Structure 1
Amino acid sequence: MPLEYALQHRGQFPDPGPWKIPQTKNVLLRDTLGIEALPRQRFNKTKRTPYVLNIMVVGESGLGKTTFMNTLFNTPLKEEIHPKNPQSTQTVEISPVHYELVEDGVKLNLTVVDTPGFGDQLNRENNLDPIVEYIDNQFEVYHSAERSSEFRRAIPDTRIHALLYFIPPTGHALKELDIKALQVLSAKVNVIPVIAKADTLTREEKAAFKKTILRDIENNAITIFPTAYPDDRESVEDLEKYIPFTVIGSDQFVDIGGKKVRGRSYRWGVVEVENEQHCDFIHLRELLMTHALHDLLETSHTVHYHNYRAQKLRSSGRPESILACDDSYEHRIERSKQSMAEDMIKKEEEMRQNFVMKVREKEANLREREEQLNQKRQQLMAELEEQRSALAAEEREFQEFYNASRNASVSKGSKIFGKKN
């Protein structure tokens, strides 16, 4: 309870201050202390702890799912049993089988969950129910263990980490059953689509079939691993171009140039399982084991299991605020930050539009005032020109009067002067 309370209320109280955390000082060692051995200790401890990988294979009978799993892990996991009449199966069976694989001291607890009977009945309406029920039951078992008094101990993880969905090599679009199954299952587990029996298709047919499947996946909003999970794509970007993976399964070894390799021998030649020119088997194995094993485990826990737990808590009537103790709290914070950033961009755009509008209004007002001032100036100039014309007329009239007066005075003086003489 204290841990749950602390997780629920983290970030809601101020920092207690630097007095709670002593200040660190950098010091130089005078002699070797052995700090460089700490990562090796962690590595050795991690190596002693077995890794867990639970894989479910889903697909119609006759696609070589069991043979492929034997080929994938280089060991005969179990023999493939072909039913005499697949349509006689009344329902889909769930058959998990557990194995322990050891390589160079590293243990892998592998669980392969087969689903015989899927897609074999004439009425396939309820084919998905047993598969979805099994996946949800593993979530519920893990959820119950988390709520128990021994939740601090290691919880056995039986949740499905990867689901290989086998698609028959028809060369056509996905069937309605495949689309519905992929939509339902991709919301609960990490789905990786696989094209079975790739040796029945030519290279051109494989490329065209892949494009058709990817188009159907995109049109039906199906999430596949790792394309639909951006956080897990950094190390597998080079492998994404092979999705969906074309695979070939074989328990037999054939001789090629004196070397024994897994493959199938036909009258027209030999198909090698681990030859990238023949299929994408090695790329699928590299995705599962070399690059994305940790990502599969983490995505199963942080995405699919948390979605199940959140739905479970909501259905029990717990308010949304209680879910802040989940690890999904960070994702919600990121979404809130993104939403706030988008709101800020919208507000900045609105402010820019308002600023542009006000500038345009101000420019219009200034142009109107400028026109008024020009009109006033023209009016004043016209009045000034009228006054100048009037002044010039008065000046001419005065000059004429002055000249006339002067001429009259001169003529009068000349007359007087003539009389005296």
Structure 2
Amino acid sequence: MPLEYALQHRGRFPDPGPWKVPPAHKVTLGDTLGIEALPRQRFYKTKRTPYVLNIMVVGESGLGKTTFMNTLFNTSLKEEIPAKNPQATKTVEIDPVHYELVEDGVTLNLTVVDTPGFGDQLNREHNLAPIVKYIDDQFEAYHAAERSPGFRRAIPDTRIHALLYFIAPTGHALKELDIKALQVLSAKVNVIPVIAKADTLTQDEMAAFKKTILRDIDANNIKIFPTAYPDDRESVEELEASKYIPFTVIGSDQFVDVDGKQVRGRVYRWGIVEVENENHCDFVHLRELLMTHALHDLLETSHTVHYHNYRAEKLRSNGRPESILACDESYEFRIERSKENMAEDMSKKEEEMRANFVLKVREKEASLREREEQLNQRRQQLMAELEEQRLVLAAEEREFQELYNQSRNAR
């Protein structure tokens, strides 16, 4: 009976394979169920759950990183700390500070990780080591939490989601330290290059400096966010077309009066620079990218790309083959690509086999035609010889008949 049932229903309920959902059959509802309320329920539940954003700021001292972060989040995150003597700073310090921001019922657990001392020493060979170690430690903590018995609980996410790399407004090419740092850090986190103190550059100098930085980034194969991770291609194309990347920013804790309105800015003898004026810098576009357009992409890319790369490398370093990583979310994509490649290979091989078969058939047909012509020629030759022998035999028969008749008449 089971075999008969299986034969009768063969193909109707195929095995979808691992991590796949069987195809569903669409039905028509006879009455309202309230399904339209499900998105609202998801929205309210999501709104009650705090969001997490961990930002690391990296750059030389004196570029206004703390002031900029205060400006970025419209609050006083951290008071200005008197600058230390660069030569007195022996190593790079890692200084994470946690905040809770609430807006319209939505809570954001913000962590700002400062790196004072970066680039301040004469010997900068080991400047990156503490930063890379901190990033890897957060990956390792998340990995350990995944393997713990409480994996089904919410895992505290301390991984770095965005790294703002501050570039000094020199107007020249990137420094060797900047290139090395961007190469190393872009392989581990979402790096967003930022040109600090943009009010020291003119508009033409900003445009030329951006082109120089982008040229150095391309020449050194540095991945920056979001252009290296174009999940939302439209927003990326808009940023590229508007030439906002790398972002030029200005930080200010002061409010100035502009046409009767208090705005963040700086007052100079030659005029006022407004932080949120897109004609003066790209600050508003950077904040929109971080908070309005790409916050979810930052979190997702940190998990699906950088964290998965770290986990895969860790598993392979323990001697496990790459196939053991089939639980990764990229496994499905790899399987589909393998199937497509296999289908293409099979199609090519099928075309080659068909072409070889046709070629061999044509060669065989040509060989058979040649053989047939040879046989026809041989047949004609044999028929001609047979006709010649028949004529000779007829002549000899006539000659014999004449001799026989003569011998009878002589009797």
Bin of the TM-score, shorter chain as denominator length:
0.7 to 0.9
Change over 3 Å in CA distance of 1:66–1:341 after alignment to 2: farther
Q: Are the aligned partners of 2:230 and 2:236 in contact in 1 as well (CA < 8 Å)?
A: no
Do the aligned partners of 1:97 and 1:112 also contact (CA within 8 Å) in 2?
Answer: yes
Q: Supply the AA of the counterpart residue of 2:117.
A: G
Q: Which has the larger radius of gyration?
A: 1
**Structure 1, unaligned runs of 5 or more:** 1-8, 370-421
Question: How many Å apart are 1:126 and its aligned residue?
Answer: 0.2
Amino acid at match of 2:36: E
Q: 1:230 to 1:334 in 2, by over 3 A?
A: farther
Q: 1:196 maps to which residue?
A: 196
Mapping for residues 288-367 of structure 1, pairs under 5 Å = 288-337=290-339, 339-340=341-342, 343=345
Q: Find the aligned partners of 2:285 and 2:348 in 1 and give their Cα distance.
A: 44
8 Å contact from structure 2 (residues 61, 120) kept in 1: yes
Instruction: Go from structure 1 to structure 2 and tell me whether the alpha carbon gap of 1:264 and 1:313 turns closer, same or farther (over 3 Å shift).
Output: same
Structure 1 residue matching 2:237: 3-state secondary structure: coil
Aligned to 1:242, the other structure's residue is in SS state coil
1:285 is the counterpart of 2:287: yes
Distance 1:207 1:322, change over 3 A: same
Indicate whether 1:215 and 2:215 are aligned.
yes
Q: 1 CA distance for matches of 2:17 and 2:273?
A: 59
Does the 8 Å CA contact 1:59/1:165 hold for their aligned counterparts?
yes
Q: CA deviation at 1:37?
A: 2.1
How far apart are 1:351 and its partner, in Å?
Answer: 8.2
**RMSD of aligned alpha carbons:** 3.1
Q: Which residue of 2 aligns with 1:408?
A: none
Letter in 2 for 1:327: E
Q: For the residues of structure 1 that align with 2:314 and 2:113, how far apart are their CA atoms?
A: 25
Q: Tell me whether 1:148 sits opposite 2:151 in the alignment.
A: no
TM-score (norm 1): 0.77
1 CA distance for matches of 2:270 and 2:165? 29
- Over 3 Å counting, the alpha-carbon distance change for 1:217 and 1:338 in structure 2 is farther
Preserved contact between residue 189 and residue 306 of structure 2 (Cα < 8 Å): yes
Instruction: Give 1:57's aligned residue.
Output: 57
In 1, distance between residues paired with 2:96 and 2:67? 16
Q: 1:193 to 1:37 in 2, by over 3 A?
A: same
| Secondary structure of the corresponding residue to residue 146 of structure 1 | helix
CA contact (8 A) 2:99 2:111 kept: yes
Q: Residue deviations 1:106-145, cap 9 Å, x none? A: 0000000000000000000000000000000000000000
Query: 1:150 is paired with a residue of what secondary structure?
Result: coil
* Equivalent residue in structure 1 for 2:17, among 11, 14, 32: 11
Task: Sort the Cα spacing of 1:13 and 1:244 in 2 relative to 1 into closer, same or farther, 3 A.
Answer: closer
Deviation string 1:175-230 (CA, Å, 9 cap, x unpaired) is 11100100000000000000000000000000010000001000100001111113
Alignment match, 1:260: 262
The aligned counterpart of 1:244 is 246
Q: Distance in 2 between matches of 1:98 and 1:271?
A: 30
- Contact map agreement 1:62 1:82 (CA 8 A) in 2: no
For residues 38 and 209 of structure 1, what CA distance do their matches in structure 2 show?
Answer: 49
Structure 1, residues 287-340: CA drift from partner, whole Å, max 9, x if none?
Answer: 000000000000000000000000111111222221101112123224425644
8 A contact 1:264–1:271 mirrored in 2: yes
Preserved contact between residue 194 and residue 248 of structure 2 (Cα < 8 Å): yes
Q: Give TM-score scaled by structure 2 length.
A: 0.78
Shift of residue 272 of structure 1?
0.4
Q: CA deviation at 1:95?
A: 0.2
Contact 1:239–1:287, Cα closer than 8 Å, also in 2: no
| CA distance 1:347–1:45, shift in 2 (3 Å) | same
- Please give the alpha-carbon distance, in whole angstroms, between the structure 2 residues aligned to 1:341 and 1:63: 55
Change in Cα spacing, 1:224 to 1:344, as seen in structure 2 (3 Å) is farther
Distance 2:277 2:49 in 1: 33
